[in-house]
Every structure is written in structure tokens, then in C-alpha cells.
Structure 1
Amino acid sequence: MPFSHSPATRRILLIDDDVELAQMLREYLEPNHCRLTLAHTGAQGLALLAQDDFDLVLLDLMLPDGNGLDLLKHYRQRSRRPVIMFTAHGGETDRVLGLEFGADDYLAKPFGPRELKARITAVLRRFEETPDAGRPCLTLGALTLDPATGLVRVGGEEIALTGAEQRILEILMRTPGQVVGRDQIGLYALGRKPDRYDRSIDTHISALRKKLRLDHADMLSIRNLRGLGYVLAGGA
């Protein structure tokens, strides 16, 4: 079935040296309103990213000419467009680093094309939702978020967040002092419920803490209540 969020063709860049996987994904995704451009090295991927703004990037972290984390970090310096990364099965460290460097979601290899399609649909839906210009800015202490633009400031300093990070921060700022469950955060920020062993929400929140320099004295803090969820506290 076609992607349900829009009939428009989405331009996707796949950076992966697995030729067989690339061909399988092209055959599966292109009938579903996707035009897949292939790059089999990091250098090819960087060259294509410099030429065009793709709607989404699929990135393998193990590339023949370098680490995909370096490419991801470089790309995040110029674009907030969504990135889904592929990691080797069991590569938890790479998954954590990828999310901290700005990936929106990840899939461990091997994976099925239907699962990838579902992740693409969820990530694009969240990224492409039309901002509501009437939504007021959210402010807690020195922290300000404009939901319509995604602009985040701490004091007078602008902080660059990924789309997933911004949506996690928004749902926490809308309910300060109240626990927000992991499933609720996952649905709002990623478009899916995290499974029992999925640490992506925790990793995104860890990145938020670092970027916003939270958990210092007289500042806001994001607290993890084991088995319940997360709460944004302080900032009075």
C-alpha cells in the first residue's frame, strides 16, 4: 500500500554499501511514493547531500570509507531533515551515539522492508506536520520553545535540536511537574510506541540534557521515574 501521509513522492537518500539490500529496498519502496537515490560510500553520500535536500536520509553507520557517525555529525551542522540509521545487530553503543549525534530513529540489521516503511512513514509524518502558528511559545525559567518554528532558547542562546528532541521537549514542557509515560512520548516524538528493549527515548532525553545543559543548580531537570516515564521539574 502507498504511504498514507501523502501521495507526493518523497526523495530518500540511502547511504549503504550493501548492494543487495539497496536493490531490495528500491524495489519495495519506489511503488510506495518514494524515489530512492543510492550512495555506497560516505564520500558519495556527502556529495549528494551537498547537491540536494532530500526528504529523508537512510544511513548505515558501517561504511567502507569511514564511520557513518562522522557523516551524520557533519550533516546535522547544515540540516534538521530526518535521518534513520542502520546499525549492526547488537551494536548498542553505535545506536546510542547515532541518536546523540542527531539521528531521528534507528533500525538494527537485519530488518524487514515493511518495518522500515513503517519507520519512514512515522518519521516523515512527524517532520512534515504543518505547524500551528497560533500555538503560543512555551517558557519555563530560562528555557523557551516556539512549537510553530521549533526554535529553542536557553537564556538568550539558541539551541539546535533534532525534530525528535524538539517534540520530546515540547510534550514535557506542556505538562511540567507531571509524569509523561514512555509510550506517550514515543507516539508524539517518533510516531510509534517504543518496545520493551528500545532505548531511543532514553537516548534522546540524554542528548536533550546535554544540549540544554539541564540538571544544574537552579535549573530545570528531566527526571526518569522508573516504570512510569519522565517528568520536567524545576524552572520556577
Structure 2
Amino acid sequence: MTMRVLLVEDDAELRRTLRDALALEGYEMLTAASLSEGLALAANAALDLVVLDLGLPDGDGESLLAALRRRESLPVLVISARQAEGQKIRLLDAGADDYLVKPFGVGELLARMRVALRHRGTRVSAALTVYRRGAVQIDLATQRVRRDGEPVHLTPTEFKLLARLVRNAGQVVTHRQLLADVWGAEFVEHTQYLRLYMGQLRAKLEADPAEPRLLLTDPGVGYRLAEPDEDPAAPLMPS
């Protein structure tokens, strides 16, 4: 199941950077640039976690934390340039799960998000973003796909479907999960979409599309990307 995260941050560049980085990890992102927008989204959207800046143009993020704590025990990670120890203690005592001082690394934020979710009983593993098997190489961060060293052109929907499978390489992802994550919850019964797009991906990535070795079918359940067979930390070959 995809985790839905609300990011409340008024800095447009940082908001865009964090949104893209978290989306790459498989989170469904909602973003707000103000306290009022954050309050409205928090009141009307089902959320799994909130990443909250304090210095917002129309008020302090602490107000949103208080509103959330009155209603639910949703994990909230505060991000702020404010470094005073007293401020951190007050926010943690008020219900924040963690407090990161800007600037911080995206990797640290992701790790702390996983910890906060784990403390609520939800275990989330770091997503696989670089994948190799045989002649196929996939880098989700750069959106580069290669076969036999040559670039492979994918449509946006094909890439989104492939990326969803990469993030769970070696595991079956059900038809309903794929349809909800790639097309939206209203399309969970449209399995013909999956058959069409999996056929297109196999035509582009498999040596023999009729006998797939990469994009595998679990009959009646879903699809699985074969486990990678190389070190995912090593860089892809240059363009």
C-alpha cells in the first residue's frame, strides 16, 4: 500500500526537491505552501505522515501540529531552521515525532520517516531506485532505462508502471495495487490496462516477450519484476 505524505513547506525550491525525492521512494505526495492550505489538506485527506515546516507565511506550523494532535496520532516530522534547544523540546513534547534542523540530507529525512512510521506499527523499507538484471538497467532518479547499453524510450505511464515494480523488485505487486498506484483508485477494476502496458514493456525490455524472464506474471494475483542480479549501488554506464 502506498503511504500518503503531506509536506507543508513555503520554500518552493525545497518543497519541489523534497516532493520529488519522496515520490521517487514510492510515497504519494500532497504539498502545501501555507498554514491554511496545510490545515485544509489535513482535514480532508487520509494521510499516513506529515512533514511540517514551522515558518509559514500565514502562521506557525506549530498550530497545525496542535490541530493534528487533537484529532489523531498521525506521525509528524518537524523541519525548521530554528535551532534553539527549548524550541525542539517544546515541539517534541507537543507531539512531534522528530525535529530536523535545516539544512538536512534527504537520506536522513527518509530514514527518520521510516522510524516514525515503524513506531506506529508500519514497517517501510528503503526503496530500490537503481535496478539491473542481465542486459537491462533502470535508474529511477534519472529516469534512464537501457537495454544492451542502448537507451530505451518509455512513455510516462510505462515508466510509472515499471518504477512501481522496481520499488518492490522480487515481490509480487497485485493488480489492484498497480492500478491504484499508476492510474488511480477509480481504475482498480481495469485490468485490461495492465495487460496492455505490460505487453508494451515486455516488447521493449525482454529478449523474448513471449517467454519473459524480467517482467513476470503471478496468475490471478499480479506482476513481479525479477530480483536484481547486480550491485545496485554501482553507477549505471554513462550516456
When the two structures are superposed, what TM-score results if normalisation uses the length of structure 2?
0.49
Structure (1 or 2) with the larger CA radius of gyration: 2
Superposition TM-score, scaled by structure 1 size: 0.50
